[in-house]
Chains A and B, each alone.
Chain A
Amino acid sequence: MSDAKTERAYCPVCLARFKLEAGWKEGSVVICPICGQKLILAKSPDGLIGDRVDKGTVREIRERSENFARIRGYEFNDIKEDLLEGLMAKYKRFGDFYCPCRMEHVPEYQCPCKPTRGGDVEKNGRCYCGFFWKKK
């Protein structure tokens, strides 16, 4: 139990605890290997936790989605910028970067949403809203 706590950090976007790479420690700026969010690692009573860098800005969601696409080997198409605009509108109206094509404003639909992190793009060729696409 205690080993897992020292080797992992909590991501506030995908709500998962990701494994630390060599040299990652308090104060390190890292990319969550699950959702692509840029984080500064900080100490908490439950172990390391990531603080979102550039929270609530278009830079944050653009970097996150581009990192996620790179990690997974996905690509974008010409609707990318419109979807980023929709994500910004979600943040302003509903408090976070929820999927612009869904009604529900719940943590599992924070972009990249849970179904997408779970492999929807491999299954369907694209995510629900057509932001991430499987490479042809």
Chain B
Amino acid sequence: MSSMADKPKVYALSTCPYCKRTKRFLDQHKIVYDCIDVDLLDDDKQDKVLEEVEKLTGRRSFPVVIIGKEIIVGHDEDKLKKALRL
């Protein structure tokens, strides 16, 4: 089982500029995170990850950032700051 203190997790598309902005924001704030570019996965893995994303957010919209219990859909610096206590 994973704990709440896990690294933030980012689900992204490699071609999406909003996903890039979210990654850049986390990098700039020196946040260590796991990132999956969903569009670059092979088909089987991609299906699994898309199911995961849909279960978490109810849709297939990117980026998705998981920080503890917080789920942030879309690039939203205010929400990221709040969730990361920046």
Give the bracket for the number of chain A residues in contact with chain B: 10 to 19
- The A interface, classified by DSSP as helix, strand, loop or mixed, is helix
Given contact pairs A100-B13, A103-B39, A82 touches B20 in the complex (Cβ within 8 A): yes
| A36-80 interface with B by 8 A CB criterion | 79
Check if A90 is an interface residue, CB within 8 A of chain B.
yes
Interface size on B, residues (CB 8 A): 13
CB < 8 Å neighbour of B14 from A79, A82, A89: A89
B residues apposed to A, CB below 8 Å:
13-18, 20, 38-40, 50, 60, 62
Q: Which 7 A-B pairs have CB atoms at the shortest separation, nearest pair first?
A: A82-B17, A86-B15, A100-B15, A89-B15, A101-B16, A90-B15, A100-B16
- Please, which residue of chain B has its CB at the minimum distance from the CB of A90? B15
Query: When chains A and B are docked, how far (Å) is the Cα of A94 from the Cα of B20?
Result: 19
- Let me know if A103 and B17 touch, CB within 8 A: no
